[in-house]
Amino acid sequence: MKIPFFVQEFTQEMEDAVIHALRNESFVGGESVSKFEDEFARYTGTKYAVSVNSGNSALQISLMSLGISDKSKVITPTNSFIASANCIRMTNAQPILTDINLRDGGIDISNVKEKADAIIPVHIYGNPCNFDSVKSLAEDQKIPIIEDACQAHGAIYKNKKVGSISDVGCFSFYPTKNMTVGGDGGMTTTNNEEIARKIKSIRDNGRKTKNEFDRLGFTMRLNTVNAAIGRIQLKHLDEKNSRRREIVSIYRKNLVDNCILPENPDGKSVYHQIVLKHEKRDEIREELTNNDIGSAIYYEKPIHMQPIYLDYGLNLPNSEKFSKEIMSLPSYPSLTNEEIEIISEHVNKIIN
């Protein structure tokens, strides 16, 4: 039996929504866009949600809306997708790449020695980061927080949804995420009216009114058809996240070694990735590959070891060690219990 690492789904409900949007709405700026934003804001418990065309755009525009520019420094962890750091450089600011804790791979702010102008913690793998420590650093330094919640739709930290606990939350709808828009897409969330207004302007070429532009901006809007799919996906997000939690509990029960990364005790992860950490990582992957079972490594190289960051000359030992021992198991909601059993047996064969 072949078990892929990821399965893309296209349902009748998504298809109906697409056709309805294309037949009845403007292709750009149709009513599905504002409805999706209202529903997403309600879901995260924020006053405003402003959609954009990717998670990277969400991060970049959020930084710009907070006035981050070429004189700024922004803290971000090195165990993340490259966009968490590149968004900073795209504003001409300087990333302060920060090491992680070996427990769950999240940012460890005790490593931060420099004064910065903003911080981007990442809720990596769908697990809320240790946000209280981030908040205390941000309060000490009097700087804003932008949550990179690109992998954490629906995750909870101390009874609040991620994306609602900082100045701006950023989400990605890339197809592998816990919810998608059937292509690239993103969302920003905030309780600050002024920030929401700036993000709306920057995503639309810096527009102030129909014919007036008072700042620099991009074309980074979410298309109507993507928003229509996003509304359907949001409706099913909680049930899909529950299935992911079920899946991880079966893996935890089955695996002989307690090797799956723990959940933040102050939160509720949505298990975008189910990550195990083991010295025999490469052998486990080989066993899975030999048996037609997909797996992946997020991330094989921490950001500071990517070619575009090598000139920073950083040595961040925890993330370097972590990246050599981690791997992701299949975690999508349509994975069957039988498939989880088969995967677990193969993993156990190596770690036993």
Ligand X SMILES: Cc1ncc(COP(=O)(O)O)c(C=O)c1O
Closest CA to 222 of 53, 100, 61: 53
Whose Cβ is closer to ligand X: residue 57's or residue 295's?
57
Query: In angstroms, what is the minimal distance from the CB of 87 to ligand X?
Result: 8
Query: In angstroms, what is the minimal distance from the CB of 174 to ligand X?
Result: 4
Query: In angstroms, what is the minimal distance from the CB of 53 to ligand X?
Result: 8
Whose Cβ is closer to ligand X: residue 36's or residue 287's?
36
CB-based contact 53:186 (threshold 8 Å):
yes
Cis before 299 (ω within 30) = yes
Query: In angstroms, what is the minimal distance from the CB of 119 to ligand X?
Result: 14
- For 208, the token pair is 């102030």
- For 221, the token pair is 């809007």
Helices vs. strands in the chain: H and E counts, helices first = 10, 14
Whose Cβ is closer to ligand X: residue 83's or residue 109's?
83
Q: Which amino acid is at 20?
A: H
CB-based contact 222:199 (threshold 8 Å):
no
Pairing of strands 274-277, 267-268: unpaired
Query: In angstroms, what is the minimal distance from the CB of 73 to ligand X?
Result: 19
Give contact residues for ligand X (rule: CB under 6 A): 54-56, 80-81, 83-84, 122, 148, 150-151, 172, 174, 184, 186
Whose Cβ is closer to ligand X: residue 144's or residue 169's?
169
Measured distance CA(239)–CA(243) in Å, rounded:
6
Whose Cβ is closer to ligand X: residue 104's or residue 148's?
148
Residue nearest to ligand X (CB): 55
CA distances from 175 to 172, 217, 223, 233, 299 (A): 9, 26, 15, 11, 18
Query: In angstroms, what is the minimal distance from the CB of 284 to ligand X?
Result: 23
Whose Cβ is closer to ligand X: residue 157's or residue 287's?
157
